[in-house]
A and B are shown apart, each in its own frame.
Chain A
Amino acid sequence: MADPGMNPGLRVSGLDVSLGGRAILRDVDFAVDPHSTLAVIGPSGSGKTSLLRALAGLGGRANGAIEVDRRRVDALPAHRRGIVYLNQEPLLFPHLDVRGNIGFGLRLRHRSASRIAVVVDPLVAALGLQGLESRDPLTLSGGERQRVAFGRALAVDPAVLLLDEPFASLDPATRLSMQTLFRQVARDRGITALFVTHDLKECLRVGDQFAAIRDGRCRVYPGRAAFCADPANGVAAEIAFWSDAGTSLRRE
């Protein structure tokens, strides 16, 4: 929950999002603490991606205030918001190798090769990509590609990082390791992030703060306990399921 004395990294007030004339989200209000991750859960088609796209300035009609580090950005084009959007699909540039992809944002800022290396090398190490720097992105595994995309986003030191179910297409083991890696890197680097997912366990693993999107509304919870206590989020049902499964296994 946002500390009232602290400036939020990201504050959204009275945001309405519509797409093709159809209202998707109404009156969205939330604040993400600096260096925290707001995990947003919602079923498919609930408007999670529309919310992220509106925050990033990527189309759709959005009315309302979006502040990043107390600076209004809702009237700015995407490239000037300081908000990086990480797609569900890594979308690595096929004409660049792994190192080129990670350093892409710095190249946009006309950084010298040596300054790019200063940023990229530690990221390569932190994300476990050593030895893959010169590889063609198309030869990487799904998890490796997602790590490169994550590194590319981190390299520009974004004010806010938006993650749109980035691990949804990975196998369960890789997905778990990516969630752990995200938590570790987000903590180490003080990332302010908004992570949307339809997976309850992922939501609980990656989030510091929690929200749910349903019926065009975004409900923000005062803490993990409040989020888990809301039956609509399915935590109680999940616990009951595993409890029953455990009982059945013991009987067998």
Chain B
Amino acid sequence: MRRVSNIALWTAFLAPVALLLVWSFAWRWPWPAPLPNRWRASAWTDLAATGGLGAAALRSLGIATTVAVVATGLGFVTSRSVAEARAREALQWLLHLPFALSPVVLGVGLEYSFLRAGLAGNLVGVALAQGILAYAYAVILLSGLWTARVGAFLEGAATLGATPRQAWTLVLLPLARPLLALCFVQTFLISWFDYALVLLIGGGRVATLTTSLYQFVQSGDLRLAAASALLLLLPPLVALVTQAQPRPDALAGEPDP
């Protein structure tokens, strides 16, 4: 049963990717043929020759990395305050608002203020808007770190002689590392895949990989759209494959072997 569900999961995950791959190499694909009858790599060479796409990809990478670093760092620090606050539930409810609103509503809400503050139509504004969403997510995710068990680890370290700084660097950060890595990847993806905030706050003057992809889709060139969609998938795939998996048992308890 587990094997069947694993196969189903992998199929569900890989089938769209495989379809995009086929599309990106398809030259002639008459209906109802199951596969293209002529193959070419021209979509990829065209993509490489498309002016500005490399810059858009680098821009996406830069914005997403900045958003992930800042959101994870700030989220880590502030999640403790939220987790230990008396009004913890109210604060966590508030932090869920950016998700409830969706990026489009958030973008519309921010647009006017950002225009007035000179943040619309530039990279900083786009990163800041995405950062609001990513930061809220980071705080929610990292609030789960501040359990009584982690507190007990820190207290134990203190009685062994750890200064507050040593407790942070030698106990807390290593314990939190898997969750921080997960948070970094997730917040990176929030920014990387964002389209609405780039469009609304960037106002067409900030081109990212997602906006470029949308242009290809609008132009009706499915081969180019498929190739750029695969390009869009590349960093998240690398991040998901290489990131350290959290060890929930390390924080939840010590089971008998």
Contacts and interface: CB of A to CB of B under 8 A. Distances in A.
B171 A93 contact: yes
Closest 7 CB pairs of A and B: A94-B250, A95-B174, A78-B158, A105-B160, A85-B159, A79-B158, A108-B161
A94 B159 contact: no
B153 A93 contact: yes
Interface residues of A, number: 35
B247 interface: yes
Interface string B141-177: 0000000010011011111111110100011001101
Most A C-beta atoms less than 10 A away, residue of B161, B162, B163, B164: B161
Contacts of A107: 170
Interface string B241-257: 00000010111001111
B166 to A, nearest CB: 6
Interface in A51-65: 56-59
A56 to B, nearest CB: 5
A84 interface: yes
A108 B160 CA distance: 8
A93 B152 contact: no
Contacts of B156: 85, 87, 91
Of the four ranges (under 10, 10 to 19, 20 to 34, 35 or more), the interface on chain B belongs to 20 to 34
Given A81-B159, A85-B159, A94 B257 contact: no
Contacts of A105: 160-161
Contact of B175 (A56, A81, A94, A156): A94
B180 to A, nearest CB: 13
Given A89-B152, A138-B255, A94 B247 contact: yes
A91 B163 CA distance: 18
Contacts of B251: 94
A145 B257 CA distance: 11
A42 B163 CA distance: 32
Nearest to A80: B161
Contact of B254 (A57, A84, A89): A89
A140 B249 CA distance: 13
Nearest to B163: A79
30 contacts: A56-B155, A57-B159, A58-B155, A78-B159, A79-B159, A79-B161, A79-B162, A87-B152, A89-B152, A90-B254, A91-B152, A92-B254, A93-B153, A93-B174, A94-B250, A95-B174, A95-B175, A104-B157, A107-B170, A108-B161, A108-B163, A108-B170, A109-B161, A138-B247, A138-B249, A139-B257, A140-B257, A145-B254, A156-B160, A156-B161
Contacts of A91: 149, 152-153, 156
Contacts of B166: 108
A118 B162 CA distance: 21
Nearest to A155: B160
B119 to A, nearest CB: 40
A138 B257 CA distance: 7
Interface string A107-149: 1110000000000000000000000000001111110010000
Nearest to B250: A94
